[in-house]
Amino acid sequence: MSFIDSTLTPERLAQIQLDGLRWTVGHALANSPFYRERLAAAGVEDAREIRSLQDLAHLPFVDNTALQEGYPFPLRCVPFEDLVRIHASSGTTGKRKVLCYTEQDLEDWRNMFARCYEVAGLTRADRVQIAVGYGLWTAGAGFQAGCERFGALAVPVGPANAEMHCELLVDMQSTVFCATASMALLMAEEVERRGLRHQIALKKVILGAERCSDAMRQRIGELLGVTHIHDIYGLTELYGPGTGLDCHLHQGIHYWADLFIFEIIDPDTLQVLPPGSEGELVVTTLRKQGSPLIRYRTHDITRLIDEPCSCGNPFPRHGRIVGRTDDMFIYRAVNIYPSQIEHLLGQIAGIGSEFQIHLNQRENGRDKMRVLVERAPATAAERDPALAEQIATAVRRKILVRCEVKIVEPGSLPRTQRKSRRVFDHRNGEPGGA
């Protein structure tokens, strides 16, 4: 049984998208005072005014401020009797973002997640150890429902402790491990520390919820003896995890364009960018009932890939998420994304994948950036000064700023079960300057 219609053509997909867009606009106009006001301000009062997919570009954007303002049930478009669940994500500031689901929304989510497992090459014989959080967060519920729909065996552990995960990896002979990148690294190091590599049966790792550098992927793969590490994307606002996943060729994330439309915009001019250009991802849902999204700004930075994938999957692809528009920090008048530093570090041999960036203000008022980087386990500590110099030079040459680099012991930067934090800006008084 397949969850992916391999006969899907671009023409049929375009028709599904146009029908879905009209349905969503009609649904939002009829049931949401918030959308009605926004759409009316843009001159849209009837879904029949949507004549082609090009008309999407005339609809107004929705930002996460709308989720804050509409708390506790923002964007709700169905009566409470039709809602069966909520999920929420903490958000970086203010109230948590709450999204509501109807039974059909959950069904669509299960099916789209089953597609992800199919794209990752699982079979019903696989045993899927789920190490992401359960509860209000969308993660655990999504991984589990998708697994059950796909027909593999779910081992629903949640973040739990390393002890329990190791025990189950060995006893259940789990073949697939699903986690945030940070949690996967933590567990890979734990498996190595306990010498369990040859007692476990992992074949695949599915990672998401945060950026994961090539260096981190490589280390997780080596320590767990796994060749395929799949990148799964998703956000609470758009059902949750499972909006897409990269196939065994690892050249982009196939996404479910029959359930949502992805656009890439320039976050400053708000103009739609052509395929291939990097910019902010904007999503519009085509079937979502509870909390539909119309041109929702994700703040995630990626690009759309126009060419079909040689794996034969008819669904389009987007690139990896390279950062967020709100990740950027300004240091000595230079705009810097953590991913730029991560990229530089990835090209230097002898260091680990973990790093932190600390920003402080000196007494003379000038900012100071300090980068902490772990030494690779096989590298001798005598190389620390040379490595630090090499990194500082690379930052100076490529990003055009001076920074101080400190090489620290392997495994000494904190490991987390959720999403790792890379930037610590102490200039605004946050304690703990490094």
Contacting residues toward ligand DLL, per CB under 6 A:
89, 132, 138-139, 208-211, 231-236, 240-241, 298, 300, 321, 324
Residues in the chain: 434
DSSP single-letter state for residue 245: E
Give the C-alpha separation, 92 to 65, whole Å: 12
For ligand DLL, the closer CB: 129 or 390: 129
Q: Closest approach of Cβ 206 to ligand DLL, in Å?
A: 8
Q: Closest approach of Cβ 293 to ligand DLL, in Å?
A: 13
Q: Closest approach of Cβ 61 to ligand DLL, in Å?
A: 16
Instruction: Give φ, ψ of 335 to 5 degrees.
Output: -80, 125
Secondary structure string (H, E, C) spanning 339-373: HHHHHHHCCCCCEEEEEEEEEEECCCCCEEEEEEE
For ligand DLL, the closer CB: 38 or 324: 324
Distance of CA 103 to the CA centre of its chain: 24
Burial 372-382 (b: 16+ CB within 10 A, else e): bbbbbeebeee
Q: Is the dihedral of CA 249, 420, 264, 29 positive or negative?
A: positive
For ligand DLL, the closer CB: 148 or 210: 210
For ligand DLL, the closer CB: 233 or 255: 233
Query: Which residue lies nearest ligand DLL, judged by its C-beta?
Result: 208
Q: Are 208 and 230 in contact (CB under 8 A)?
A: no
Q: Closest approach of Cβ 51 to ligand DLL, in Å?
A: 31
Strands 228-235 and 240-246: antiparallel
Q: Closest approach of Cβ 422 to ligand DLL, in Å?
A: 12
Return the H-helix or E-strand segment holding 221.
helix 214-224
For ligand DLL, the closer CB: 119 or 376: 119
Give the C-alpha separation, 325 to 342, whole Å: 16
Return the H-helix or E-strand segment holding 264.
strand 260-265
For ligand DLL, the closer CB: 419 or 426: 419
For ligand DLL, the closer CB: 183 or 395: 183
Please confirm whether the linkage preceding 72 is cis (ω < 30° from 0).
yes
For ligand DLL, the closer CB: 98 or 357: 98
Tell me which residue has tokens 């028709």. 15
Query: Three-state DSSP class for 292?
Result: coil
Q: Are 235 and 243 in contact (CB under 8 A)?
A: yes
For ligand DLL, the closer CB: 56 or 232: 232
Q: Closest approach of Cβ 299 to ligand DLL, in Å?
A: 7
Q: Closest approach of Cβ 112 to ligand DLL, in Å?
A: 12
Q: Closest approach of Cβ 412 to ligand DLL, in Å?
A: 25
For ligand DLL, the closer CB: 196 or 305: 305
Q: Closest approach of Cβ 222 to ligand DLL, in Å?
A: 20
DSSP single-letter state for residue 62: B
Q: Closest approach of Cβ 210 to ligand DLL, in Å?
A: 5
Instruction: Give φ, ψ of 361 to 5 degrees.
Output: -110, 130
